[in-house]
Amino acid sequence: MTQYDKDLLVIGGGSGGVRAARIAAQHGARVAIAESANFGGTCVNRGCVPKKLMVYASRFPEQFRASQAFGWAQGEPPRFDWAHFLLHKDAEIARLESIYERNLQSAGVETLADHAEIVDAHTVRLRDSGREVSAGTILVATGGRPSVPQFPGNELAITSDEVFHLSERPQRVLIVGGGYIAVEFAGIFAGMGSEVTQFVRGPHLLRGFDQDIAALLATHMEQRHVQLRYGHEVRRIDQVAGGLQVSASNGDVLEVDAVILCTGRQPNTSGLGLASTGVATAADGSIVVDDFGRTNIDSIYAIGDVTNRVNLTPVAIREGHALADRLFGGMQVPPLNYGLVPTAVFSTPEIGVVGMTEAAARAQFPALRVLTTQFRAMGQAFAGSQEQVFIKVLVDGTTDRVLGMHLLGDGVAEMVQLAGVALTAHATWSDFRATVALHPTIAEEIVTLRG
């Protein structure tokens, strides 16, 4: 029997890779993990965590205004200190990264601060040290990276990777893209006081999401002075005395201080040696895997965004944990049901989604029932805000099973997590209706919804 240096070698120290390495080590496997940048990956360093901190920061001005209706007298106008926020944010990210690495080491995982390239089915080579490490199983968990469209001057723009390290808050910002990253950053900078323009290539925001919610979000964004320009693409960017001059596909020209490209992400597979070792990849560069994360080479697996299935941190974590349990814990873990993964968009107001879209449900369920409601929450109404809450529930009229739930409003991301539990348990609409409402809450409107 061949003896390898390790039972498992993980390439990529993001959330999914770290979870797989740690759980495998806890099962008694000999594990190493290679990461050439920061442990915690995109989510901790350049994604979910710093973005959510920015979302929190951007919402305070509206909360300050609302507080007056509740009897709070304001003194001097609040002032946002970008540099102070960045220092505090960086300290928190450093703390979280150290926890990731410390947890790995306490589990007995060898951490390799180096870029790993696959040499063959059981061997990787570390680029900086030249060391080769053999393993019974190799797991690729290298995530994704921002896509940058090609046009003259694109080097003058930044992506979500760089936005968290801007030396100062730009007064005039162009957001390019109509997806969830784009609407989140548009809301962030608008809330912080920047003048925000957003170029959306298509006719509406959030392709693939419920379009009633997307349309309502667009209305709220415009009320917050985000200038949405549909059918617009960047043709070129030029450096000028006053900042950056952007030429659009329709002939418009505008001057801004920063252009943030939120034009999608792509699997981070370059430099891994996949082609030379015969690992199959799709046209978009993603690694092709089966339901259990196995590639066409039996000893090589892949999880997370590098497979381009459902590109969310909790999905990568679940995939990594399940893989370690199967391979090293002797456990029979079923494949993940990607159709019931709860999703949040931290726009303002935020969105929570779980299950099927209305379009997909209509195509499969002829007796579909669509239940909706739209209203102002008590707190917003009292403060004079025009912000709306929107709830849509999709029910199969034949079986009464709830197929999907789409929410927009303050705090709905917290609500949809528990809705995901109900849908995973195959709850019927009768189960929801039999649940006593908790008053006064936004969530009670779900179980009292009629239609």
Same domain for 358 and 323: no
For residues 26-47, give the mean pLDDT. 91
**To the nearest whole number, what is the mean pLDDT of the chain?**
95
Please check whether residue 179 lies inside any domain of the structure: yes
Answer positive or negative: Cα dihedral of 191, 196, 201, 202: positive
pLDDT digits (tens, 9 = 90+) for 369-428: 999 999 999 988 998 888 999 999 999 999 999 999 999 999 999 999 999 999 999 999
Would you state the pLDDT for residue 40? Answer: 85
Same domain for 315 and 272: yes
For residues 324-353, give the mean pLDDT. 96
Distance CA 265, CA 423 (A): 29
Same domain for 278 and 258: no
For the chain, the C-alpha Rg in angstroms (whole number) is 24
Structure tokens at 216: 């309502």
Same domain for 129 and 231: no
Binding residues for NAD(+): 177-184, 264, 305
Same domain for 415 and 370: yes
Please check whether residue 1 lies inside any domain of the structure: no
Would you state the pLDDT for residue 1? Answer: 56
Q: Is the preceding omega at residue 440 within 30 degrees of 0, hence cis?
A: yes
For residues 92-106, give the mean pLDDT. 91
Binding residues: 52, 177-184, 264, 305
pLDDT digits (tens, 9 = 90+) for 140-199: 999 999 999 999 999 999 999 999 999 999 999 999 999 999 999 999 999 999 999 999
Please check whether residue 52 lies inside any domain of the structure: yes
Sequence-separated (6 or more) residues with CB below 8 Å from residue 423: 340, 354, 355, 402, 403, 404, 405
- CATH number of the domain residue 393 falls in: 3.30.390.30
Residues annotated as catalytic are 439
Bridge partner residues of 10 (DSSP): 33, 139
Same domain for 20 and 107: yes
Same domain for 120 and 81: yes
Please check whether residue 338 lies inside any domain of the structure: no
Neighbours of 227 (CB within 10 A): 16
Binding residues for FAD: 52
Same domain for 85 and 10: yes
pLDDT digits (tens, 9 = 90+) for 419-451: 999 999 999 999 999 999 999 999 999 999 986
Nearest to 244 by CA among 229, 232, 261: 261
pLDDT of 41 over the 90 cut: no
- How many domains, the chain? 3
Would you state the pLDDT for residue 46? Answer: 85
How large is the greatest C-alpha to C-alpha distance in the chain, in angstroms?
76
Please check whether residue 224 lies inside any domain of the structure: yes
Check: CB of residue 392 under 8 Å from CB of residue 210. yes
The boundaries of the domain holding residue 236 are 154-263
For residues 45-68, give the mean pLDDT. 92
Identify the weakest region by mean pLDDT among 38-42, 96-100, 116-120, 361-365. 38-42
For residues 237-264, give the mean pLDDT. 96
Same domain for 230 and 317: no
pLDDT of 257 over the 80 cut: yes
Grade residue 227 by pLDDT with cuts at 50, 70 and 90: very high
Same domain for 13 and 135: yes
- Percent of the chain whose pLDDT exceeds 70: 100
- CATH number of the domain residue 126 falls in: 3.50.50.60
Q: Which amino acid is residue 104, in one-letter code?
A: L
Same domain for 318 and 372: no
Would you state the pLDDT for residue 308? Answer: 95
Q: Phi then psi for 324, rounded to 5 degrees?
A: -65, -40
Same domain for 140 and 234: no
